[in-house]
A and B are shown apart, each in its own frame.
Chain A
């Protein structure tokens, strides 16, 4: 049933951009546009047009007490995020910060950019974590490698040699367990040779891990083959 022609899938792209596809067809379209430049460009155009629809909506004054109710819930929710990806925003705004942990990993990596003090502390924690010997090693084609290490803060992934991806694509880490769907552990960008993802969740109980390339924002389930995996 998944054997759809290019033309058949092309007909579904507008519905995809509007969020008007059934789940099974969403996966088919996503998998196709990752491979097809023409359909990718068309999807980008339609997504832009679809997002403009939202701007036509008339603002409505929120109910009395709305803000306080949100704040109350926010106070109760700090730290309960499923994933805590290293925000790309901070790296983008940051000066480059070179860190020489090449020898620790035997990876062909050079630099990673971090900004704030907490990021620097984070870097130290990552470097320390990398020294531990009980990490899960991941590998892929063309020398792409990664190491997943369990820390007190949750599992941290460091990867190097990942392929370049489009600006509207992201890497996504998955925890794997036999007989169950992969569980997302967060998304990350590979802005330098070294990529770091602090998941904030434990790897315990899982049998393996893999990284795939997904549309920006990540996917509910993998839509492409792993670029690195624990094999």
Chain B
């Protein structure tokens, strides 16, 4: 459930208040750009994707439903989808398996700097949960979620049967859900 200030922000967007868009960017631009960079690396396309994410919210604020979760999660989902679309359209911006996995693992090991204690704590909790699934499951999930690979491409890239790729994705997500539930996140 979104917090009341977020509902106010979305009300502002619905009313075509440019100030509301500025406030949304002041809060979430770093996270959204971070997501674009995670998928696309340091390409100019990463900024384009981040811009497109906020423009999508501006053009269709009604697409965000506060009852389904915080605005940050919605924006990150939009940014991730746009970045993956870019990767699939232009193979040149596709990051290698090594870049994706190394980037992900390094962020698991280091902290996540965020502008508020609450968001930093939330990120820490998620990272802790991710640390509790196996390395091979994480690798498959990272390639799929941040690398834009289909499960067939995951199988090919990792040199494993498609069935094994599907199993790693499924078992990894299942374990992640269990850990998140145990930690009280729902």
Chain B residue numbers with a CB within 8 Å of A224 are none
User: Using a CB-CB cutoff of 8 Å, which residues 14-71 of chain A contact chain B?
Assistant: 14-15, 17-22, 45-46, 48-63, 66-67, 69-71
Q: How far is the CB of A220 from chain B (nearest CB, A)?
A: 12
Chain A residue numbers with a CB within 8 Å of B32 are 62
Residue of A nearest to B148 (CB): A19
Q: Does A216 sit within 8 A of B, measured CB to CB? A: yes
**Bound: A73/B54 CA distance, A:** 10
Q: Does A98 sit within 8 A of B, measured CB to CB? A: no
Residue of B nearest to A217 (CB): B63
**Bound: A74/B32 CA distance, A:** 17
Which of B16, B30, B76, B151 is the most central at the interface, judged by chain A CB atoms within 10 Å of its CB? Answer: B151
Is the pair A62, B59 in contact by a Cβ cutoff of 8 Å? no
Q: Does B97 sit within 8 A of A, measured CB to CB? A: no
What is the interface size of chain B, counting residues whose CB is below 8 A from a CB of the partner? 78
Chain B residue numbers with a CB within 8 Å of A88 are 62, 65
Is the pair B65, A15 in contact by a Cβ cutoff of 8 Å? no
Is the pair A48, B68 in contact by a Cβ cutoff of 8 Å? no
**Bound: A162/B180 CA distance, A:** 37
Residue of B nearest to A69 (CB): B51
Q: How far is the CB of B173 from chain A (nearest CB, A)?
A: 5
Is the pair A89, B10 in contact by a Cβ cutoff of 8 Å? yes
Checking B29, B59, B130 against A56 with a beta-carbon cut-off of 8 angstroms, the contacting residue is: B130
User: Using a CB-CB cutoff of 8 Å, which residues 1-46 of chain B contact chain A?
Assistant: 7, 10-11, 14, 16, 18, 21-22, 25-26, 29-35, 37-38
Q: Does A83 sit within 8 A of B, measured CB to CB? A: yes
Q: Does A126 sit within 8 A of B, measured CB to CB? A: no
Chain B residue numbers with a CB within 8 Å of A93 are 7, 11
Q: Does A208 sit within 8 A of B, measured CB to CB? A: no
User: Using a CB-CB cutoff of 8 Å, which residues 74-104 of chain B contact chain A?
Assistant: 76-77, 80-81, 84, 104
Is the pair A51, B173 in contact by a Cβ cutoff of 8 Å? no
User: Using a CB-CB cutoff of 8 Å, which residues 57-78 of chain B contact chain A?
Assistant: 58-69, 72-73, 76-77
Chain B residue numbers with a CB within 8 Å of A87 are 14, 61-62
In the A-B complex, list the 5 residue pairs whose CB atoms are closest, starting with the nearest: A87-B62, A59-B30, A20-B144, A14-B170, A54-B76
- Which residues of B does A touch, CB under 8 Å? 7, 10-11, 14, 16, 18, 21-22, 25-26, 29-35, 37-38, 47, 50-51, 54-55, 58-69, 72-73, 76-77, 80-81, 84, 104, 107-108, 112-115, 122-123, 126-127, 129-130, 141, 144-146, 148-152, 154, 163, 166, 169-170, 172-174, 176-177, 180, 185-186
Ordered by A's residue number, 11 sampled pairs between the chains whose C-beta atoms are within 8 Å are A14-B172, A18-B145, A50-B145, A50-B173, A51-B73, A57-B38, A59-B115, A62-B30, A77-B55, A83-B60, A89-B11
